[in-house]
């Protein structure tokens, strides 16, 4: 907004965005939720962390138009799990055994004591409950600021300790890797280092296939998915036009990737103990070393039962994600969990919009026009009245939809020069099967970034082309099931390994960590 008598351009824009973001409130989980199981919300967060780690904070104030430097490899290679491998990031790893100190496995943390306010579940979750490994950094001393240091997670990407569900996902993948290493050493009599190499190649291949052929198939518009991924080894015709992914586009990092905030539920029945009263999002966010006074280690009776977060035959037990729309739960829309570039506390909804303006990202309408040209297809550009709450959103959030519409109409410039993050949400509600998936603009930005990370990233730790078509299982339920021998036996897991095309590949598979015997 231009400067006026009531403030500078920045002050007026921030005031308008605060008015709008405070009204982006869908306070309860509507009975009319999306078709997507709740686990995909957090799997997407994990995958996007794998692609981008922003260095935007601490940059000079003239940030607009700058190229975003990436702090991770940006190549979808499970960097949040493996870090830079056991040679460089040795602190993340555990030895093969007491007699063999070769680093090849992950240490797994035990959960904390039971929360007396929540009864213990009786469905086998507690007995197998685990947490990511943590270091008690207090150890009887105080920091120079006079504060005790909290428990720190020993994981490749500290952002994956952002909340309970995400850290439990990280822990499950660590357990899958350990199981693979143990199986390869037992069945193939491999040395620990070779077992590590093969476990990593296989798990990365399965993970990439789940990202492309399960998660993105659910989230993207079908035509955009086919443009980038419908081809041999999921290399679609659109990949040829992608530039190498060295720096991350602002449009993905601070625009399209923010759509998942709208999928976050207000409550989650994490396991059987929560069937009568589900855990709130505020409680789930509190299980994190990223927040002051974080409640870690994770309490034993808050362990996630993944059967409730993925496809389930029991409709009453299955948790679904919220629909993608401008209506977020209270913690995302109102509570100040985020911070402005100057450190001022802000809501996540506000910061998602403000970053787009402050960083000089083109409006949603401008980018939608560019996507139409790139696809050579008819991509509707939403503007004006099309940016107001849809009829379906009015039915779900009748009062809140009316308040949001009134606020939007008071700021007509927002309806024609919409910050990309908000445009993506509205486009999903209008053109994305009522918020079950992204619309064409959001789909194009996400798909092109993931495809570039998969096929064109030049900084990957893994230096061999991984077969995705032979990586089994091919969905998120199967991937998470690999951690549980009650769901996938050792014999079944070993068959998956034998069928995977990349195992026993000669030569050096990793770029700089030296994790492959030559």
User: Can you count the helices (H) and strands (E) in the chain?
Assistant: 20, 8
Mean pLDDT across the stretch 130-154? Answer: 66
Largest CA distance in the chain: 76
Rounded (10°) CA dihedral 378, 382, 386, 392: 70
For residues 365-404, one letter each, b for 16 or more C-beta atoms within 10 angstroms of the residue's C-beta and e for the rest, the string is: bebbeebbeebeeebebbbeeebbbbebbbebbeebbeeb
Question: In this structure, are residues 184 and 190 in contact, taking their beta carbons and an 8 Å threshold?
Answer: yes
**Where are the strands (E) in 231-300, listed by range?**
267-268, 279-280
pLDDT at 5 over 80: no
Q: Provide the phi-psi class of 241: left if phi over 0, else alpha when psi is between -120 and 50, else beta.
A: alpha
Of the chain, the percentage scoring pLDDT greater than 90 comes to: 64
- pLDDT of res. 128: 81
- What percentage of the chain reaches a pLDDT higher than 70? 82
pLDDT tens-digit series, residues 200-219: 999 999 999 999 999 999 99
Residue 458 predicted with pLDDT over 90:
no
Instruction: Tell me, letter by letter, the H, E, C secondary structure of 68-82.
Output: ECECCCCCCCCHHHH
Residue 23 pLDDT > 80, yes or no?
yes
DSSP H or E run through 153? strand 151-153
Quick check: 164 pLDDT over 70?
A: yes
Q: Check residue 456 and give its pLDDT.
A: 78
> How far does CA 200 lie from the centroid of its chain?
20
SS3 label, residue 496: helix
pLDDT in tens, 318-353: 899 999 999 999 999 999 888 877 778 999 999 999
Residue 324: per-residue pLDDT: 98
pLDDT class of 61 with cuts at 50, 70, 90: very low
């Amino acid at each position: 907004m231009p400067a006026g008598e009531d403030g500078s351009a920045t002050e007026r824009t921030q005031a308008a965005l605060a008015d709008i973001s405070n009204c982006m409130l869908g306070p309860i989980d509507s009975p009319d939720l999306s078709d997507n199981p709740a686990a995909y919300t957090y799997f997407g967060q994990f995958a996007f962390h794998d692609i981008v780690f922003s260095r935007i904070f601490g940059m000079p104030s003239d940030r607009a138009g700058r190229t975003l430097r990436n702090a991770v490899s940006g190549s979808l290679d499970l960097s949040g799990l493996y870090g830079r491998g056991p040679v460089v990031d040795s602190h993340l790893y555990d030895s093969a055994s007491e007699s063999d100190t070769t680093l090849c496995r992950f240490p797994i943390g035990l959960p904390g004591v039971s929360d007396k306010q929540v009864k213990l579940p009786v469905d086998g979750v507690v007995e197998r409950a685990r947490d990511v490994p943590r270091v008690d950094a207090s150890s009887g001393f105080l920091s120079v600021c006079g504060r005790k240091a909290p428990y720190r997670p020993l994981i490749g990407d500290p952002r994956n300790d952002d909340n309970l569900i995400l850290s439990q996902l990280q822990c499950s993948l660590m357990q899958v890797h350990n199981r693979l290493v143990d199986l390869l050493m037992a069945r193939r009599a491999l040395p620990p280092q070779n077992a590590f190499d093969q476990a990593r190649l296989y798990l990365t291949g399965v993970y990439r296939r789940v990202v492309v052929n399960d998660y993105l198939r659910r989230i993207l518009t079908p035509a955009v998915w086919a443009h980038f991924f419908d081809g041999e080894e999921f290399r679609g015709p659109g990949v040829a036009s992608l530039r190498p992914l060295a720096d991350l586009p602002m449009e993905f990092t601070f625009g399209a990737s923010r759509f998942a905030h709208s999928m976050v539920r207000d409550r989650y029945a994490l396991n059987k103990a929560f069937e009568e009263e589900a855990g709130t999002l505020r409680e789930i966010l509190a299980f994190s070393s990223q927040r002051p006074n974080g409640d870690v280690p994770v309490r034993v009776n808050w362990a996630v039962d993944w059967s409730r977060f993925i496809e389930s035959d029991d409709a009453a037990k299955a948790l679904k994600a919220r629909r993608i729309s401008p209506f977020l739960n209270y913690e995302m829309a109102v509570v100040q969990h985020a911070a402005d570039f100057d450190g001022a506390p802000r809501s996540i909804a506000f910061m998602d919009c403000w970053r787009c303006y402050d960083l000089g990202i083109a409006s949603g309408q401008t980018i939608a026009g560019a996507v139409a040209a790139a696809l050579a297809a008819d991509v509707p550009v939403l503007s004006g009245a099309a940016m107001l709450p849809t009829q379906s959103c009015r039915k779900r959030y009748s009062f809140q939809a009316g308040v949001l519409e009134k606020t939007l109409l008071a700021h007509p410039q927002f309806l024609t020069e919409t910050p990309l993050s908000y445009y993506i949400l509205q486009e999903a509600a209008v053109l994305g099967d009522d918020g079950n998936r992204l619309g064409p603009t959001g789909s194009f930005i996400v798909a092109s970034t993931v495809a570039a990370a998969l096929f064109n990233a030049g900084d990957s730790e893994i230096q061999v082309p991984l077969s995705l078509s032979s990586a089994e299982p091919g969905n998120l339920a199967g991937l998470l099931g690999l951690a549980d021998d009650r769901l996938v036996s050792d014999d079944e897991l070993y068959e998956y390994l034998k069928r995977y095309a990349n195992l026993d590949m000669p030569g050096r598979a990793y770029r700089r960590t030296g994790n492959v015997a030559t």
